[in-house]
Amino acid sequence: MTMISPTPLMGLVAGVWAFKTLAAGVELGLYSRLADGRTLTVDEAATEFALAERPADLLLAASASLGLLEKTGNHYRNSELAEQFLVEGRPYYFGAQIRYSDLHTYLPWHRVGEALRTDRPLTWDPQAQQSMFDTTDPEMLVEFWDAMYSTSAFTAHALADAYDFGAHSRLLDVGGGAGAFPIEFCRRLPDLRATILDLPQVCVRAEERIAAAGLSERIGTVGGDFLTDPELPNGHDVILLSMILHDWDERTNRALLAKCHAALPADGAIIICELLLNDERTGPPEAALMGMNMLIETEGGRNYSGAEYAAWLADAGFVDIRTVRFGSPGANGAVVARRA
């Protein structure tokens, strides 16, 4: 028998080390402090972050090994990846997702065996809460929506590159959160108008983001619950479901797609933007592992394949179903269809 190496397994073991190194850098504000070409030596970093020399050296070395920092002589600086996505205030800042995962998702993942045995979420208690949004911790909700915006901002950028929203005039973003997708699209397309449908408390957060972007006249919000409301707002020629359907089971998703079909005019489009599994449900890892995360965070969610979404869309009455592929933190493709 040919002997193979367990080295790939050690790589999986070390995955948590890599994440926690990244999270530690974000927590310290390392990458924001190195913005715009600033550099630090180990001794300077130790002084600036009130660390001993050994942990400062280990953090900088590990960050460089992960492609987050670059080293010239004794000086470390941000890599292009860190400069674009880990400096607070950048358009596609991703640190909020890292911070939320570190504070609220990482520890529940330690009990994944419990989730497998019970088929119950670990980040909230279904016996005491109606949903994860039913909480007395408002700070956690702010952190959650900031994390979702952090993931959605570049995902919206990638989707806008892959799909021509210029063919539409009115967008309905169902479960649109803090508004990353409409903000990105409306910045690109001056004739596009958009509506975000989400819980009333989420709409408040969205309105703040929209106002900061200077788009309050073109992007509106509607407070509601797309699961329990009998119908969706009409008057839109394209409906977006981005990173929504993986939260729910097939029955719930089919019911939502039926509402979308009823709300669209003839030739109106629907776009399902997700981390899509392949048809065999064997990958890619980012989609399959997000499915595992749904076990931790939802009651019935899982990631689905493009073929599954296509079948549900066809059953709901949609036609011209196709998949558009792209790469981003929140999605690797979008399943697009048209109401006949």
Looking at the annotation, which residues are catalytic? 246
As given in the structure block, the two tokens for residue 152 are: 């959605």
Tokens 């399959």 sit at which residue?
A: 288
- What is residue 336's DSSP assignment? E
Among residues 24, 161, 43, 191, which one has the least CA distance to residue 102? Answer: 24
H/E run at residue 153: helix 138-162
For residues 216 and 224, what is the distance between their CA atoms, to the nearest angstrom?
19
Q: How would you classify residue 248: left for phi > 0, otherwise alpha for psi between -120 and 50, otherwise beta?
A: beta
For residues 135 and 132, what is the distance between their CA atoms, to the nearest angstrom?
7
DSSP 4-16: --SHHHHHHHTHH
**Residue 196 dihedral angles phi and psi, to the nearest 5°:** -105, 125
Question: CB neighbours of 320 closer than 8 A, spacing ≥ 6?
Answer: 337, 338
H/E run at residue 311: helix 306-316
Question: CB neighbours of 64 closer than 8 A, spacing ≥ 6?
Answer: 70, 71, 76
Among residues 225, 206, 84, 220, which one has the least CA distance to residue 148? Answer: 206
DSSP 162-183: HS-GGG-SEEEEET-TT-HHHH
H/E run at residue 60: helix 53-65
